[in-house]
Amino acid sequence: MRRLWLLGWLALAVPLRAQDGGGDVPLPTDEITEADRAAIRAELAANRTAHGIPEPSAQAGKTQAVAFAWPLTLPPSIPDLGLATVSAHYDHDRTTGVTQDFACGTRTYDQHEGTDFAPWPFPVLRMQQNETQIVAAVAGTIVGKRDGNFDLNCSAVAGAQWNAVYVQHDDGSVAWYGHMKSGSLTPKTVGERVALGELLGIVGSSGRSTGPHLHLEVYDPSGNLIDPYAGSCNRLNGQTSWWAAQEPYSNPRLHAVRTGSAAPVVRTCPNPEQPNEKRSFAPNEAIVFSAYFRDQAAGDEIRWRVIGPDGQPATVRHSDGTPMSEWTHAPSSGGRSTHWYYTRYLPADAPTGQWRVEITYKDQFLTRTFAVGEPLASDDDRRLDEAMGTLYPNPFAETATLRATLAPGLRVRVEAFDLIGRRAALLFNGRAGGEGTLTLDTRSLAPGAYVLHIATDRATTTRLGVRR
């Protein structure tokens, strides 16, 4: 049904409209000195001796080489489709003043030795709210922890030390997870095991860092620095990828959509960003619709649609007075962390009730509910989260089940996204209700971890699942 609706929508003469504002946002950088690295290596060596942890070289070849999963996640209660962009790769051209990443591009900065993952949108705000979670990309043993350092630097302050967790994997390789928020690190101690996907801490900006991000640094069992991304200009490990599924070099994703009372303020380090979010409006009031993207290219089409309480397209007004229920925007510029916002006005006779805005970008679809003339239906997202119950079995095989307590006739849509935000499959699109279950067809999913995005006309929530 959704596919038919989309085809019909694309066939219409949808008005092209420019945004009111937005654009690309500068990405954070960091600096780690060789003296810092030498001190870390000495600390990890001492910890291995004190805790009886094998030397990395002693584990080489004893198990299959590791494969990394995405190292960041959001709490299941946040229904956004994405949470971060790869802001910088390893710099393979060690000539000062010249940069080159694994794919022969320039998505790096001078002398960078690692991979940076920058939360987007709202990196400082989400840091304060403990929302951007760093998880173990591979299972292993904690060989080091540093905590207690200042965690909200906005420039590369000389001498600043980071908060970090260091994990040694069963094949002897070691991952450094750096720039964490102070006090957020796992309570587990050196010598204890962490599982794949286990929480290690919260993204911060400790150490020589210009903003919240995760710096991931990986060493092979011989202590050689590697770049987990395979590419023709990777001078460390060439065409050998360390990812379970290496994402495309450019990976255009829709991350989030919001409604608000004013334009969002998105670059304010060290102060938290101001989404200016609002979800309850009066007739004749202005609404600011905003959307947030990763790797969005100039000319990419963004399609918006406003739906009223009756489930049908609803009219809002452009600032020039033009009525519209849908519009298309193709920005003239792009970037790795972009946002665009649009001001629209509700009509004086806007029907009271629960509305929603829908946005389509490439193969991605996201909704956001808002209310007109009444309060937002009390915590609809929370209520849906509670109504959905648990996913079982988990891990699952060809089918999975969501225990649901929903109003009879309520339409539910369940889509699976992998951990880097790519839509994998539509698992359910139909009506459910009462005490019962939703049976999800998961046969088309490849083995791995997924975020299940669950949406009704009024609310959204998510569940995490693993396909065996």
Report pLDDT digits (tens) over 309-362.
Answer: 888 899 999 989 999 999 999 999 999 999 999 999 999 999 999 899 999 999
Which of 70, 67, 107 minimizes the C-alpha distance to 90?
Answer: 107
Fold adopted by 34-226: Glucose Permease (Domain IIA) (2.70.70)
Please report where in the chains the tokens 């995490």 appear, as a residue. 464
pLDDT higher than 50, residue 204 = yes
Each residue of 214-232: pLDDT tens digit?
999 999 999 999 999 999 9
- List CB contacts of 207: < 8 A, sequence separation 6 or more: 30, 32, 149, 153, 160, 161, 162, 163, 178, 179
* pLDDT value at 3 more than 80: no
CA distance 68 to 50: 28
* Collapsed DSSP state (helix, strand, coil) of residue 57: helix
Distance, in Å, from the CA atom of 78 to the CA atom of 361, rounded to the nearest integer, reads 19
For the chain, what are the domain ranges? 1-22+250-376, 34-226, 378-468
pLDDT at position 324 is 95
SS3 37: helix
Question: Residue 404: what pLDDT?
Answer: 72
Using pLDDT thresholds of 50, 70 and 90, give the confidence band for residue 182.
very high
Q: Which of 229, 243, 249 is nearest to 115 (CA)?
A: 229
Q: Mean per-residue pLDDT for 260-269? A: 92
CATH 3.90.550.10 for the 378-468 domain, yes or no: no
Please answer whether residues 277 and 259 qualify as being in contact, where contact means their C-beta atoms are separated by less than 8 angstroms.
yes
Beta bridge partners of 313: 307
Quote the tokens at residue 173. 């390789």
- Which range of 41-50, 60-69, 394-403, 432-441 scores highest in mean pLDDT? It is 41-50
Tens digits of per-residue pLDDT, 268-317? 899 999 999 999 999 999 999 999 999 999 999 999 999 998 888 999 99
Position 450 scores a pLDDT of 86
Q: Over the stretch 394-451, which tens digit does the pLDDT of each residue have?
A: 889 999 888 776 666 678 889 998 877 778 999 998 876 555 678 899 999 998 888 8
Q: Report CA dihedral (70, 76, 80, 86) to the nearest 10 degrees.
A: -20
* Predicted pLDDT of residue 195: 95
How does residue 7 score in pLDDT terms, banded at 50, 70 and 90? very low
- Do the first three CATH levels of 34-226 and 378-468 match, i.e. the same topology? no
pLDDT class of 4 with cuts at 50, 70, 90: very low
- What is the rounded CA–CA span in Å between residue 375 and residue 371? 6
Contact criterion met (CB below 8 Å) for 334 and 340: no
The pTM assigned to this predicted structure is 0.81
Q: For the domain made up of 1-22+250-376, give the CATH fold.
A: Immunoglobulin-like (2.60.40)
| Alpha carbon distance 140, 175 (integer Å) | 9
CB count within 10 Å of CB 426 equals: 16
Q: Is 104 helix (H, G, I), strand (E, B) or coil?
A: coil
Q: What is the pLDDT of residue 76?
A: 74
Q: How far, in Å, are 73, 160, 257, 352, 372 from residue 127 at the CA level?
A: 13, 19, 19, 36, 31
Please check the confidence at residue 382 and state whether its pLDDT lies above 80. no
End-to-end Cα spacing for the chain: 29
Structure tokens, 8? 């019909």
Strands 140-146 and 460-467: unpaired
Average pLDDT, the chain: 89
